[in-house]
Amino acid sequence: MTDTRRDFLWNAAGSLAYAMASIVLAFAVIRIIGPDEGGIFGFGFSTLGQQMFIIAYFGIRPFHITDMKNQFSFGDYLLTRRITSLLAIFASFLFVGAQMLTGSYTGHKAVILFLLSMYKVIDGYADVYESELQRQGKLYRTGQSLAFRTGLSVLTLLSVLLLTGNLSGAVMAADIMQLIGTYLFAVRPLKSCPEKTVESSAETDGNVSSRMCVDRSFSISHSRSMILSTGLLFISVFVDFYIFSASKYAIDARLSDAVSGYFNVLFMPTSFIYLIANFMIRPMLTKLADQFAKADTKAFSKTCRYMVKAVAVLSLIIILGAVIFGKPGLMIFELILGASTKGKLMSQYVTFILLIAGGGLYALANVMYYILVTLRKQLRIFAGYVVTAVIAALSAGRMVEAGGMTGGAMNYVMLMGILVLLFFLFAFQAIGEMKLSVKKASTGEIEDK
């Protein structure tokens, strides 16, 4: 097997295992111990835990895996990830502690949510080792780590849950397995890579370059620089996920844990639109960046229109499919979840369709996001997120109180629509500025001649 093929297969296996984990666990936990505990788990794993993962992750991986000139050492990245992971632990403790003090959470729920947050923080911490393995040319090791530690953690959680029926004990066991898996499949394989020494750093050896050596030295100033460099990106991603999850937070705060679990199940298919849309447009991003670099405004605009149309058509097809096949699909969901959920999902058919429509809008918002990133308009992206987040904070709770799950779904559609509108206006304005700049430059060249 060639290295490229091995990298592709293991990376695909790891990504699939990671993507399937939340789906399998959401259904299995409700099936095994009921909708109330399942609702706590679903919110903790897919919403609060993921928000904590974003803090631990801090948007550093793209910098890490592309840092082939060793601007920062592995020690720098490791120190930074330890700092961000500690921040995530503190944020988790602060959130569940505040909810307990206000009487919103019982001690039982707070413990489970904190343990699930720790699961995701460990996930974020493991990523620094997996990123370094990728930088060292061992992408297959990254895929193996993701696949094996995720698979073992899921099996551990479900096994303990089946044996004991105790969710907090099962999540604690999964946390321990995450730590063991991180050591076995990420930390230990990295130790097989040669350490950077004084001799290797001089790059006099033709067989071993400094890029292929792990430098564990670190500098606090480097870590500070890295955090400052990725800070705006982190805040944007953090706020983006809050907007995406605002209705889930509102339902968790105002409705029952069982309702939160049902909403989480209904919400899951929305992610597939985003994943398929990303698969469609990512091959176009390099082309788009090249057209921007060449200042080819006509081709750039054409590619932008193509991307928007492609995702819009995809979204409409999926929404139509949901309208036609939604009820049979929800019936299958209920059969998988067990007798305790009979009629609970079928009665939320309209909610389901609204969530799918919101997923389509979110996919469109991401197309606009990529266009704005290509145009280097990060501040406008940030402004769009902040405006939408403020609206989310003011509206989500009220709409859930007024309309329950359907109100939450309507809020999701509204927020995604606002994000699409803002990003569209920003992108339209930025493309106009690009055209004007190119026109001025070409006019100046003619005058010079």
Give the phi and the psi of residue 214 in degrees, each rounded to 5.
Answer: -90, 115
- State whether residue 194 is helix, strand or coil: coil
**Alpha carbon distance 195, 192 (integer Å):** 9
Whole-number pLDDT of residue 1: 66
Confidence of residue 448 (pLDDT cuts 50, 70, 90): low
Q: Extract the tokens encoding 381.
A: 């992206």
Would you say residue 205 has pLDDT above 70?
Answer: no
Q: Extract the tokens encoding 198.
A: 């004084």
- Model-level pTM greater than 0.85? yes
CA dihedral of 285, 286, 288, 290, whole degrees rounded to 10: 160
Whole-number pLDDT of residue 207: 46
Q: Extract the tokens encoding 295.
A: 């200042």
Q: Extract the tokens encoding 118.
A: 């720790």
**Alpha carbon distance 248, 270 (integer Å):** 13
- State whether residue 379 is helix, strand or coil: helix
Would you say residue 203 has pLDDT above 70?
Answer: no
What sections of 136-269 are H helices per DSSP? 139-164, 167-182, 188-191, 198-201, 220-254, 257-267
Q: pLDDT tens-digit profile of 398-408?
A: 999 999 999 99
Amino acid, single-letter form, for residue 361: L
**Alpha carbon distance 440, 443 (integer Å):** 5
Quick one: which H or E segment has residue 244?
helix 220-254
**Alpha carbon distance 187, 195 (integer Å):** 14
Would you say residue 289 has pLDDT above 80?
Answer: yes
Amino acid, single-letter form, for residue 278: N
**Alpha carbon distance 447, 449 (integer Å):** 5
Confidence of residue 427 (pLDDT cuts 50, 70, 90): very high
Confidence of residue 449 (pLDDT cuts 50, 70, 90): low
Q: Indicate the range of 174-183, 278-287, 356-365 predicted with least confidence.
A: 278-287
What integer best gives the mean pLDDT of the chain?
Answer: 91
Q: Extract the tokens encoding 126.
A: 């493991």
Give mean pLDDT, residues 83-108.
97
Q: pLDDT tens-digit profile of 62-81?
A: 888 888 888 899 999 999 99
Q: pLDDT tens-digit profile of 107-139?
A: 999 999 999 999 999 999 999 999 999 989 898
Q: Which residues contact 129 (CB under 8 A, 6 or more apart)?
A: 145, 182, 186, 187, 190
